[in-house]
Structure 1
Amino acid sequence: MPPKKQENSPKTVITSHVNSDFDAIGAMLAAQKLYPESVILFPGSQEKNLRDFFIHSMGYLFNMANPDTINFSETQRLVIVDTRQKSRLSGVKPLLEKPDLIIDIYDHHPSFPDEIKGTYNLSKPYGATTTIMCELLREKKISINSDEATVMALGIYEDTGNFTYTSTTRADFEQAGFLISCGACLSTISSLVVKEMKTEQVTWLNELINEMTTIAVNGIQVHLSAIAASYYIPDLASIVQKIVRMENLDCFFALVLMGAKVYVIARNRLHEMDVGKILGSLGGGGHSYAASAKVENQTLPQVETRLIKLIEQQIRHVRVAKKLMSSPAITITTDQSCLEAAQKMIRYNINTLLVLDSQTLEYLGYITRHVAQKTVHHKLGDQPVIDYFEPGGQSVSLSCDLAGIEQKIIDLKQRVVPVMENRIISGVITRTDLLNFLVEHNREVVQSEKTDISDLKPRTKYVGNLLKSRLNTRIRTLLSDIGNAGDTLGMEIFVVGGFVRDLMLERPIEDVDVVVEGDGIVFARYFSSIHHCRFHQHRKFNTAVIIFEDGFKVDVASARLEYYATPAALPVVENSSIKMDLARRDFTINTLAISLNAESFGTLIDYFGGVRDIKDKIIRIIHNLSFIEDPTRIFRAIKFSNRFGFRIGKVTANLIKNALNVGAVKHLSGLRVLSELKQIFSEDNPLPAVQTMADYGIDKVIHHDLKLTDTTCALFRSVGKTLAWHDLLYSDDVYPRWSVYFMAWLHGYSFTVSTQIADRLMFPIKEKELLLEQRIKAAQQIRLIEKKHPVSNQQMYRWLIHFKTECLLFMLALTKKESVRKAISHFYTHQRKTQPLIGGKDLKSLGITPGPVYSTILNKIIDEKLDGKLNTMEEEIKFAKEYAFENKLI
Structure 2
Amino acid sequence: MNFTETLNNNPIFQLVADSAQQLNVRAFVVGGFVRDLILNRPSKDIDIVCVGSGIELAELVAKNSGRDDTYLSVFKNFGTAMIRIDDWEVEFVGARKESYRSDSRKPIVEDGTLEDDQNRRDFTINAMAISLNVSDFGQLLDPFDGVSDLRRKIVKTPLEPGITFSDDPLRMMRAVRFATQLNFDIHPDTFDALLSMKDRISIISKERITEELNKIILSKVPSYGFKLLDSCGLLQLIFPEFCLLKGVETEEGKGHKDNFYHTLQVLDNVAKKSDDLWTRWAAILHDIAKPATKRFDKKKGWTFHGHEELGAKMVKPIFTNMRLPLNEKMRYVKSLVRLHLRPIALSKETITDSALRRLLFEAGENLEGLMILCRADITSKNGEKVKRYLRNFDIVEEKLKEVEENDRLRNFQPVITGEIIMETFGLTPSKEVGIIKIAVREAIIEGQIENTMESGMPFIIEEGRKLGLTPKL
Give the TM-score range, shorter chain: 0.5 to 0.7
Q: Distance in 1 between matches of 2:367 and 2:95?
A: 43
Partner of 2:469: none
Partner of 1:814: 377
Q: Distance in 2 between matches of 1:767 and 1:887?
A: 34
Is 2:307 the partner of 1:746?
no
Report the 3-state secondary structure (helix = DSSP H, G, I; strand = E; otherwise coil) of the residue aligned with 2:290.
Answer: coil
Identity, % of aligned positions: 22
Is 2:84 the partner of 1:547?
yes
Please point out which of 336, 339, 346 is paired with 1:778: 339
Please point out which of 847, 851, 869 is paired with 2:420: 851
Q: Distance in 2 between matches of 1:687 and 1:589?
A: 23
1:516 offset after TM fit, Å? 2.5
Q: Distance in 1 between matches of 2:409 and 2:62?
A: 46
| TM-score relative to the length of structure 1 | 0.38
| Contact 1:568–1:628 under 8 Å retained in 2 | no
**Judging changes above 3 Å, is the alpha-carbon distance between structure 1 residues 744 and 851 closer, same or farther for their aligned structure 2 residues?**
closer
Q: Distance in 2 between matches of 1:698 and 1:658?
A: 10
| Contact 1:487–1:597 under 8 Å retained in 2 | yes
Q: Number of aligned pairs?
A: 393
Report the 3-state secondary structure (helix = DSSP H, G, I; strand = E; otherwise coil) of the residue aligned with 2:92.
Answer: strand
**Judging changes above 3 Å, is the alpha-carbon distance between structure 1 residues 502 and 466 closer, same or farther for their aligned structure 2 residues?**
same
Partner of 1:698: 234
| Contact 1:480–1:598 under 8 Å retained in 2 | no
**Judging changes above 3 Å, is the alpha-carbon distance between structure 1 residues 630 and 485 closer, same or farther for their aligned structure 2 residues?**
same
Is 2:37 the partner of 1:463?
no
Q: Distance in 2 between matches of 1:478 and 1:747?
A: 52
1:607 offset after TM fit, Å? 1.6
Is 2:99 the partner of 1:557?
no
1:707 offset after TM fit, Å? 5.0
**Judging changes above 3 Å, is the alpha-carbon distance between structure 1 residues 887 and 643 closer, same or farther for their aligned structure 2 residues?**
closer
1:593 offset after TM fit, Å? 0.9
**Judging changes above 3 Å, is the alpha-carbon distance between structure 1 residues 849 and 707 closer, same or farther for their aligned structure 2 residues?**
closer
Q: Distance in 2 between matches of 1:623 and 1:498?
A: 18
**Judging changes above 3 Å, is the alpha-carbon distance between structure 1 residues 699 and 597 closer, same or farther for their aligned structure 2 residues?**
same
Task: Output one character per residue of 1:395-447: Cα deviation in whole Å (capped at 9) or x when no partner.
Answer: xxxxxxxxxxxxxxxxxxxxxxxxxxxxxxxxxxxxxxxxxxxxxxxxxxxxx
Q: Distance in 2 between matches of 1:745 and 1:883?
A: 41
Is 2:39 the partner of 1:517?
no
Report the 3-state secondary structure (helix = DSSP H, G, I; strand = E; otherwise coil) of the residue aligned with 1:495.
Answer: strand
Is 2:56 the partner of 1:508?
no
Is 2:105 the partner of 1:569?
yes
**Judging changes above 3 Å, is the alpha-carbon distance between structure 1 residues 837 and 785 closer, same or farther for their aligned structure 2 residues?**
closer
**Judging changes above 3 Å, is the alpha-carbon distance between structure 1 residues 482 and 564 closer, same or farther for their aligned structure 2 residues?**
same
Task: Output one character per residue of 1:618-655: Cα deviation in whole Å (capped at 9) or x when no partner.
Answer: 11112332122322222221222222232222221222
Q: Distance in 2 between matches of 1:575 and 1:828?
A: 64
Please point out which of 663, 668, 685 is paired with 2:221: 685
Report the 3-state secondary structure (helix = DSSP H, G, I; strand = E; otherwise coil) of the residue aligned with 1:720.
Answer: helix
Which of these two proteins has the greater Rg computed from alpha carbons?
A: 1
Is 2:271 the partner of 1:723?
yes
Is 2:145 the partner of 1:582?
no
**Judging changes above 3 Å, is the alpha-carbon distance between structure 1 residues 578 and 823 closer, same or farther for their aligned structure 2 residues?**
farther
Is 2:360 the partner of 1:797?
yes
Partner of 1:13: none
Q: Distance in 2 between matches of 1:640 and 1:512?
A: 18
| Contact 1:782–1:815 under 8 Å retained in 2 | no
Task: Output one character per residue of 1:230-255: Cα deviation in whole Å (capped at 9) or x when no partner.
Answer: xxxxxxxxxxxxxxxxxxxxxxxxxx
| Residue type of the alignment partner of 1:658 | S
Q: Distance in 2 between matches of 1:626 and 1:649?
A: 14
Task: Output one character per residue of 1:140-194: Cα deviation in whole Å (capped at 9) or x when no partner.
Answer: xxxxxxxxxxxxxxxxxxxxxxxxxxxxxxxxxxxxxxxxxxxxxxxxxxxxxxx
| Residue type of the alignment partner of 2:178 | F
1:587 offset after TM fit, Å? 0.5
1:503 offset after TM fit, Å? 0.8
**Judging changes above 3 Å, is the alpha-carbon distance between structure 1 residues 495 and 826 closer, same or farther for their aligned structure 2 residues?**
farther
Report the 3-state secondary structure (helix = DSSP H, G, I; strand = E; otherwise coil) of the residue aligned with 1:512.
Answer: strand
Partner of 1:381: none
Q: Distance in 2 between matches of 1:485 and 1:887?
A: 78
1:467 offset after TM fit, Å? 5.0
**Judging changes above 3 Å, is the alpha-carbon distance between structure 1 residues 851 and 561 closer, same or farther for their aligned structure 2 residues?**
farther
| Residue type of the alignment partner of 1:464 | T
Report the 3-state secondary structure (helix = DSSP H, G, I; strand = E; otherwise coil) of the residue aligned with 1:518.
Answer: coil
| Contact 1:628–1:664 under 8 Å retained in 2 | yes
**Judging changes above 3 Å, is the alpha-carbon distance between structure 1 residues 883 and 484 closer, same or farther for their aligned structure 2 residues?**
farther
Partner of 2:194: 656
Q: Distance in 1 between matches of 2:182 and 2:401?
A: 33
Q: Which runs of 5+ in 1 are unaligned?
A: 1-460, 728-733, 864-878
1:246-645 to structure 2, matched below 5 A, reads 461-465=1-5, 467=7, 473=9, 476-529=10-63, 530-532=66-68, 533-548=70-85, 550=86, 552-567=88-103, 569-624=105-160, 625-645=163-183
Q: Distance in 2 between matches of 1:836 and 1:764?
A: 25
1:698 offset after TM fit, Å? 2.4
**Judging changes above 3 Å, is the alpha-carbon distance between structure 1 residues 641 and 735 closer, same or farther for their aligned structure 2 residues?**
closer
**Judging changes above 3 Å, is the alpha-carbon distance between structure 1 residues 525 and 804 closer, same or farther for their aligned structure 2 residues?**
farther
| Contact 1:681–1:742 under 8 Å retained in 2 | no
1:819 offset after TM fit, Å? 4.9
**Judging changes above 3 Å, is the alpha-carbon distance between structure 1 residues 701 and 568 closer, same or farther for their aligned structure 2 residues?**
farther
Partner of 1:671: 207
| Residue type of the alignment partner of 1:507 | R
| Residue type of the alignment partner of 2:71 | R
Greater strand share, structure number: 1
Report the 3-state secondary structure (helix = DSSP H, G, I; strand = E; otherwise coil) of the residue aligned with 2:214.
Answer: helix
**Judging changes above 3 Å, is the alpha-carbon distance between structure 1 residues 491 and 745 closer, same or farther for their aligned structure 2 residues?**
farther
**Judging changes above 3 Å, is the alpha-carbon distance between structure 1 residues 486 and 800 closer, same or farther for their aligned structure 2 residues?**
same
1:757 offset after TM fit, Å? 5.7
Task: Output one character per residue of 1:524-549: Cα deviation in whole Å (capped at 9) or x when no partner.
Answer: 2222232331111111111122123x
1:558 offset after TM fit, Å? 2.5
Q: Which runs of 5+ in 2 are unaligned?
A: 248-257, 293-309, 380-388, 425-436, 446-450, 462-473
Q: Distance in 2 between matches of 1:828 and 1:493?
A: 60
| Contact 1:681–1:737 under 8 Å retained in 2 | no
| Contact 2:95–2:114 under 8 Å retained in 1 | yes
| Contact 1:669–1:761 under 8 Å retained in 2 | no
**Judging changes above 3 Å, is the alpha-carbon distance between structure 1 residues 719 and 648 closer, same or farther for their aligned structure 2 residues?**
closer
**Judging changes above 3 Å, is the alpha-carbon distance between structure 1 residues 823 and 488 closer, same or farther for their aligned structure 2 residues?**
farther
**Judging changes above 3 Å, is the alpha-carbon distance between structure 1 residues 569 and 822 closer, same or farther for their aligned structure 2 residues?**
farther
| Contact 2:26–2:51 under 8 Å retained in 1 | yes
1:50-129 to structure 2, matched below 5 A, reads none
Q: Distance in 2 between matches of 1:737 and 1:573?
A: 41
Partner of 1:165: none
Larger relative contact order (CA 8 Å, sep ≥ 6): 2
Please point out which of 689, 705, 712 is paired with 2:260: 712
